[in-house]
Amino acid sequence: MVGDRRDGAADAVGGAPADNAPGAVRQDGRSQGRHERQGDSSARILLNEEGWNAACAAAAQAIAAHAYDMTLDQMLAKNRCRAWIAEGRQVAMYLTHVIGQVPLSDTGPHFGRDRTTVAHACARIEDRRDEDYFDNGLMRLESLMMKRVGELKMQRLLAVEAAREAGNRDHEITIEKPLIIRTAKGKFYTFQPIEGQQTEDR
């Protein structure tokens, strides 16, 4: 964890949450994003800005939830919460905006907050970076987020290539988990998540 939580000071090397826990980072290194819970497994969601923003926010939420040992429901709760939950949410907003490059106004809705709240969260996290302990923990989370964003970019490139291969044929481009893209011409592309993303922060 980056800062303090209910059981005292901790760092970003805590145990991983269960795969089926809200906000968990699964064993394959992918976050259980909001769009996945809705059953959309297609990488084509990354081809539009809204889908990309949602995927980046989901990744940041999963990483922060893991580090702060909280559930996604706790992170997104509207009511007043304990300081360590609020900090975890602010870190997730920061990762979404700074590493995911999602605009402040587009980050807010994924956390049930407005642009001003996200801006405040990012400014607060920047201020906390003057604390060596906090900064070191945050850098670990930034590294995880950068790797996840890299995976998302690769998925988006593969989806573009698959669409190009399919050409103008009136066929569905199917995506099989974990990351197998098949085109109308029968070709397929695979991409394995970066090894160590799940275990690096242990």
- For position 46, what pLDDT does the model report? 65
Task: Name the pTM for this structure.
Answer: 0.64
Q: What is the pLDDT of residue 44?
A: 60
Q: What is the pLDDT of residue 80?
A: 75
Report how far apart, in Å, the C-alpha atoms of 191 and of each of 28, 29, 150, 181 are.
Answer: 12, 12, 12, 9
In the chain the domains, ranked by start, together with CATH numbers, are 4-190 (1.10.1750.10)
Whether residue 21 is predicted with pLDDT greater than 50 in this model: the reply is no
Report the pLDDT value the prediction gives residue 49, as an integer from 0 to 100.
82
Residue 16 confidence class, pLDDT cut points 50, 70, 90: very low
- pLDDT tops 60 at residue 20: no
pLDDT tens figures, 92-126:
999 999 999 999 999 999 999 999 999 999 999 99
7, pLDDT greater than 60: no
Q: Whole-number mean pLDDT of the chain?
A: 72
**Mean pLDDT within 71-86:** 88
Q: Model confidence over 24-60: pLDDT tens digits?
A: 334 334 444 443 333 334 456 666 788 888 889 999 9
